Amino acid sequence: MKYIDEYRNKGLVIKIADRIKKISTRKVNLMEVCGGHTMSIQKFGIPYLLPATVNLLSGPGCPVCVSSRKFIDHAVALSRLPNVVIATFGDLIRVPGSTSTLDKEKAAGADIRIVYSIMEAINFAIKLPEKKIIFLGIGFETTAPTSAAGIAYADKENIGNFFFLSSHKIMPPAMSALIDEGVKIDGYIGPGHVSTITGSGMYEDIAGKFNLGVVISGFEPVDLLQSIYMLVDQIENNRQEVAIQYKRFVKPEGNTKAKQLLEDVFELKDDWWRGLGILPKSGLQLREKYARFDATKNFEVEIEKTIEPKGCICGEILKGLKTPKDCKLFAKACSPQNPIGACMVSSEGSCHAFYKYNRG
């Protein structure tokens, strides 16, 4: 298949759904850990095509959702410094901190600019030598290589007024932590974009240690249903393996150049995940040789005490223990226009996806 219409072919979708129904005899929980999958699953009504034996759970696949309020509070504090420009992706600007947001700080006069890449932020630094540009790096293994490339470029060009605040994370520790916590998961729908960088090898430990399969999936209805079929087939035949459905983009070895760049620029650190707490070696921080770009080491600010919103169950939703509809705030006090929790802000968040496609 070459074109997107083929991956949305109604006849093929129904055919795969029927095959799942024919082979599925056990009740299973399958979790996706990619925000793009979360949105596609709700957009295309995938749960309604499945038999009652197959239950889909949304996991911690949205980087904005899993990041801490302290990260936002830190960015807010930095934005209040003189001669500082905060460069950020659009999703972050409305994420609630403890008492403020970057959007509110911008309205109050802070210089906060939405960018589409780290290179835009670096170009600000070149054009505005009198300013200190701080780029907010966020995302999993998909976006981290672009941050690494930007840092390497800033180092090569000796750009002295560019800085980086990292909230980059890696996925496997969270996938393992969910099972360690006792969340009932029988198989993972593996993240497609992340895996184009990492390849399939990083999931082998999960399959081996926990005896459950991981199928790396694309984002269209045929992709997702074929991946679910592959997982159900593994479970029904007592196999646990890592497989690639998304073969048109994902290779077992991944992107070796991007992985080498990540290794050169970043090192692992313990990091905080919403709903899961601090997970060992789950975050990425700049290596010492790039410390001159690290905003945490170059700016002293007082970060306010973190305050979580009352009634928000975003953490439980990210663990697959509850759905957005279980939240008393959902579609009432909390909406995309007035988000209380991070899961409602990003288009990849479960609450946002449910609000847009599955409110009824």
Q: What is the pLDDT of residues 299-356, one digit of tens each?
A: 999 999 999 889 999 999 999 999 999 999 999 999 999 999 999 998 899 999 999 9
Mean pLDDT score across all residues of the chain:
96
Report the share of the chain in percent with pLDDT over 90: 96
Each residue's pLDDT tens digit, 12-50: 999 999 999 999 999 999 999 999 999 999 999 999 999
Q: Which of 96-100, 146-150, 187-191 has the lowest mean pLDDT?
A: 96-100
Output the CA angle 313-92-77, nearest 5 degrees: 100
Query: Which residue carries 């998961």 as its tokens?
Result: 185
Position 277 pLDDT exceeds 90: yes
For the segment 118-123, the average pLDDT, to the nearest whole number, is 98
For the segment 182-205, the average pLDDT, to the nearest whole number, is 96
Distance CA 50, CA 350 (A): 19
Tokens in use for 221?
A: 């209805």
pLDDT of res. 5: 85
End-to-end CA distance of the chain: 34
Each residue's pLDDT tens digit, 54-88: 999 999 999 999 999 999 999 999 999 999 999 99
Query: Which residue carries 């999958």 as its tokens?
Result: 37
Please give the helix or strand (H or E) that residue 270 lies within, else none: strand 266-273
Contact of 333 with 339, CB cutoff 8 Å: no
CA–CA distance from 159 to each of 124, 271, 284 (Å)? 11, 28, 22
The superfamily (CATH) of domain 66-170+256-298 is: HypD, alpha/beta domain 2 (3.40.50.11740)
**Domain residue limits, the chain:** 66-170+256-298
pLDDT of res. 2: 67
pLDDT of res. 1: 63
pLDDT of res. 260: 97
Position 4 pLDDT exceeds 90: no
Label residues 245-276 b or e (16+ Cβ within 10 Å = b): bbeeebeeebbeebbebbeebbeeeebbbbbb
For the segment 193-208, the average pLDDT, to the nearest whole number, is 95
pLDDT of res. 347: 87
For the segment 147-174, the average pLDDT, to the nearest whole number, is 97
pLDDT of res. 225: 98
Kindly tell me the burial class for residue 38, based on how many C-beta atoms sit within 10 Å of its own C-beta (0-12, 13-18, 19 or more): buried
For the segment 153-157, the average pLDDT, to the nearest whole number, is 98
